[in-house]
Structure 1
Amino acid sequence: MNTEESEEFLLPRSRLANERLHAMIPGGAHTYAKGDDQYPENLAPVISHGRGAHVWDIDGNRYIEYGSGLRSVSLGHAHPRVTEAVRREIDRGSNFVRPSIVEVEAAERFLATVPTAEMVKFAKNGSDATTAAVRLARAATGRPRVALCADHPFFSTDDWFIGTTPMSAGIPAATNELTVAFPYGDLAATEELLTRYRDEVACLILEPATHTEPPPGYLAGLRELADRHGCVLIFDEMITGLRWSEAGAQGLYGVVPDLSTFGKALGNGFAVSALAGRRDLMELGGLRHSGERVFLLSTTHGAETHSLAAAMAVQTTYVEEGITARLHTLGERLAAGVRDAADSMGVGDHVVVRGRASNLVFATLDENRQPSQQYRTLFLRRLLAGGILAPSFVVSSALGDADIDHTVDVVAQACAVYRKALDAADPTPWLAGRPVKPVFRRLA
């Protein structure tokens, strides 16, 4: 296990590997949220392997890992039911010139798990699924504008969304003008937007819940607004799918969208996403209608049999083993422990745990209780030195009580240092380098 003193905690092999990554891969990672700029300087571990809730870096350090695979590995690494299903299919071939019977079985399994949907089409990543949903909405309504929730951080790598972020280089202004935004939880503001752009908005797209629960009646109110204004309601369930309930947030809150997108936990790390929804909308991308065809999703690798087998194994495991309930139990234990540790060190108003128990995040606030990248850097350094790799506190079902207890102990040690920095009104002496940076920023 790593030393507790961050001043002595070094990652020489990871540092060299990061240089190699940057030399060949733009950004040094295949996801910006995994970039080394998201971690304290020279303390961005490069991973060797993982099992369950633990990962090992190439320097030989073991960590308890949170937010595994950007929330995708919810059962823990190398989960036996998933890996067994994948191995079985790999031995039978992974991709053919015609659909595999596995595609039928995976669709049946998905629609049984998410009964609010009538059809489903699989892809490899969430961006393809959300963009396909937007395309369907535009085709069905004949309208150009997309209305997205301004309070949710990410929907797609495609132009209709990325143009709204600080990283909008390369996106034509004309494309940006077709995307408008509404605030989460504010039905009046959303109705005003739909009225201002009357008969122009093709869809409302949002995460049904994130670090806050939807206000009472909010999702039902959005459903009514979408119906009244003739636009398509799209739930991005990339995060809420399986973690909120096996059927996602729509299954938990009882509000049925026209279209929804799933991914992340669906494959437990294997590449699979899904677009699901109403038959009449989904069939616009099919062959059994007489109208204008929509080029919906057509991916060479979208139906690789081993990824679909992983998805089926994940859904079966969730249902048979009560995984969603376990995630909530683990998250509740962790949140309570972290809050107690922060309170005991006098930083309860500065290290703040938020979100549904199955999807916890933390905020690091400065002496004025404002979000601080510097204090986040301090906090992450202490966690890493204590063997905790935690860009968030999102749990996997592979965590045990001992893992939670150790995490809370390390958090307490980190909070003790945090208190010293607050008392000094300057965390700089504890950073040992540049602060971590936000993912979305205009300049590199």
Structure 2
Amino acid sequence: MTTEDIEPLRLTRSRQANERLHALVPGGAHTYAKGDDQYPENLAPVISHGRGAHVWDVDGNRYVEYGSGLRSVSLGHAHPRVIEAVRRELDRGSNFVRPSIVEVEAAERFLATVPTAEMVKFTKNGSDATTAAVRLARAVTGRPRVAVCGDQPFFSVDDWFIGTTPMSAGIPTATTELTVTFPYGDLAAAEEVLTRHQGEIACLILEPTGHTEPSPSSPLPANGGAPTPGYLAGLRRLADRHGCVLVFDEMITGFRWSEAGAQGLYGVVPDLSTFGKALGNGFAVSALAGRRDLMERGGLRHSHDRVFLLSTTHGAETHSLAAAMAVQSTYAEEGITDRLHALGERLAAGVRDVAAGAGVGDHVVVRGRASNLVFATLDENRQPSQQYRTLFLRQLLAGGVLAPSFVVSSALDDADIDRTVDVVAQACAVYRKALDAADPTPWLAGRPVKPAFRRLA
């Protein structure tokens, strides 16, 4: 089978829209992970609209969608409870010269949902929240260095983190040198970093579980990245012993692991934590939460130097906060976290079964927590391969499945899952032929997809 055997996906308007985007928007998208370089050549649909678990592109093609909004749309597109709450606030005005009563209600609701935190401040995106956590930790400790988990792919667009990635152009070396890394799951390594930089590290920042994102450079662990028993508690003890702040980035784990995030599931309380993505079901809202004595440093009721914690024009827009409250109510009242897990388990079982049946069970590998599934595409030597990822994505798109990951939303139903598994089965049959040929090139029809973070365009 070659690319000519695939029913051609008609994307004439999408291709035209992509050209317009590249002429006006650097990279052709406002998020690098949404760039057309992440998709097979000439197969990057531009979306017209979405409803539930489905999206339509500007050419009229319909897809079952996974990883919606980079994991932010966990209830499905245009969820009625969320949209109703947003519309109600839009009719009342969305931004004022003084705080809205909605800010009080949203804070109370969030802290009831995440009882391990004592105060919260809202903003629009995750990078602002994590950078605020880092700034606060530096202020309260008087220390310059930040220790980030080096096995996890993304924390912020700001210099303290991006300087550690291959896309470090424009960031002074002096800034990058203040960030050090430690591996996930290795307490001894974390202690070595703290000891090597004794009295200099302001905070440890990490996602509380490992491997929540697919990695083109390494296979995913069989346990889906769940922390080994005692690891998070051990980090808590290390942070206390060395006098630094423990920060959990719960952007992905928040709600998908439990309504209170991974900290609620595993019972380890960080000093600060950040939430976003699922919090707004696609509306722009993120949160920094944590201990009162730390958070208050960004307020007015203390005698210390003031910390410029978070101060954003649009950070407390009423409609986004209303969306967050509706999301939290929906999760609590409709058992959304359990539903995400059930859907993910059904999908994972189906994909593994058809991959094994096609003889590629060791090459198309599904990993992760059921609510946050990712896949690895391995070559004939069982090494991660962007070429085989390209082949796999081409086949999925041709079958009407838009899936940079297999991260589910609660809007999926059993028929969507079954359809996806059928498309994956067809993709695996082609995958097997490419493996037998030891060369996927005839099935690519263009350049392979590329890692989002790389030094050269």
Q: Normalising to structure 2: TM-score of the pair? A: 0.96
In structure 1, how many angstroms separate the alpha carbons of the residues matched to 2:129 and 2:226? Answer: 24
Q: Counterparts of 1:326-365 in structure 2 under 5 Å?
A: 326-365=339-378
In structure 2, how many angstroms separate the alpha carbons of the residues matched to 1:301 and 1:236? Answer: 22
Q: Is the 8 A contact 1:250 1:257 kept in 2?
A: yes
When residues 5 and 106 of structure 1 are mapped into structure 2, their CA distance, relative to the original with a 3 A threshold, is farther
Q: Per the alignment, in what secondary structure is the counterpart of residue 84 of structure 2?
A: helix
**Post-superposition offset of 1:290:** 1.0
Work out which of the residue numbers 275, 278, 286 in structure 1 matches 2:288. Answer: 275
**Post-superposition offset of 1:6:** 3.4
Q: Per the alignment, in what secondary structure is the counterpart of residue 135 of structure 2?
A: helix
Equivalent residue for 1:247?
260
Amino acid in structure 1 at the alignment position of 2:319: H
Amino acid in structure 2 at the alignment position of 1:203: C
In structure 2, how many angstroms separate the alpha carbons of the residues matched to 1:9 and 1:48? Answer: 16
Q: Counterparts of 1:239-318 in structure 2 under 5 Å?
A: 239-318=252-331
Q: Counterparts of 1:16-27 in structure 2 under 5 Å?
A: 16-27=16-27
When residues 66 and 338 of structure 1 are mapped into structure 2, their CA distance, relative to the original with a 3 A threshold, is same
Q: Is the 8 A contact 1:345 1:416 kept in 2?
A: yes
Equivalent residue for 2:392?
379
Equivalent residue for 1:226?
239
Amino acid in structure 2 at the alignment position of 1:201: I
1:422 aligns with 2:435: yes
Equivalent residue for 1:122?
122
Q: Per the alignment, in what secondary structure is the counterpart of residue 55 of structure 2?
A: strand
In structure 2, how many angstroms separate the alpha carbons of the residues matched to 1:127 and 1:82? Answer: 24
In structure 2, how many angstroms separate the alpha carbons of the residues matched to 1:341 and 1:110? Answer: 41
In structure 2, how many angstroms separate the alpha carbons of the residues matched to 1:177 and 1:200? Answer: 12
In structure 2, how many angstroms separate the alpha carbons of the residues matched to 1:53 and 1:5? Answer: 28
Equivalent residue for 1:181?
181
Q: Is the 8 A contact 1:5 1:385 kept in 2?
A: no
Aligned length: 442
In structure 2, how many angstroms separate the alpha carbons of the residues matched to 1:225 and 1:370? Answer: 35
Q: Per the alignment, in what secondary structure is the counterpart of residue 8 of structure 1?
A: coil
Equivalent residue for 2:111?
111
Equivalent residue for 1:77?
77
**Post-superposition offset of 1:384:** 0.2
When residues 127 and 256 of structure 1 are mapped into structure 2, their CA distance, relative to the original with a 3 A threshold, is same
Q: Counterparts of 1:200-211 in structure 2 under 5 Å?
A: 200-209=200-209, 210=212, 211=224
In structure 2, how many angstroms separate the alpha carbons of the residues matched to 1:105 and 1:10? Answer: 47
In structure 1, how many angstroms separate the alpha carbons of the residues matched to 2:71 and 2:49? Answer: 17
Equivalent residue for 1:217?
230
Q: Per the alignment, in what secondary structure is the counterpart of residue 130 of structure 2?
A: helix
Q: Which runs of 4+ in 1 moved over 3 A?
A: 4-7
Equivalent residue for 1:98?
98
Amino acid in structure 1 at the alignment position of 2:136: L
Identity score, percent: 88
In structure 1, how many angstroms separate the alpha carbons of the residues matched to 2:10 and 2:390? Answer: 15
**Post-superposition offset of 1:5:** 5.6
Unaligned stretches of 5+ residues in structure 2: 213-223
1:437 aligns with 2:450: yes
Amino acid in structure 2 at the alignment position of 1:336: A
Per-residue CA deviations over 1:176-214 (Å, capped at 9, x if unaligned) read 000000000000011011000000000000000134100
**Post-superposition offset of 1:8:** 1.7
In structure 2, how many angstroms separate the alpha carbons of the residues matched to 1:272 and 1:150? Answer: 26
**Post-superposition offset of 1:10:** 2.9
Q: Per the alignment, in what secondary structure is the counterpart of residue 64 of structure 2?
A: strand
In structure 2, how many angstroms separate the alpha carbons of the residues matched to 1:310 and 1:302? Answer: 13
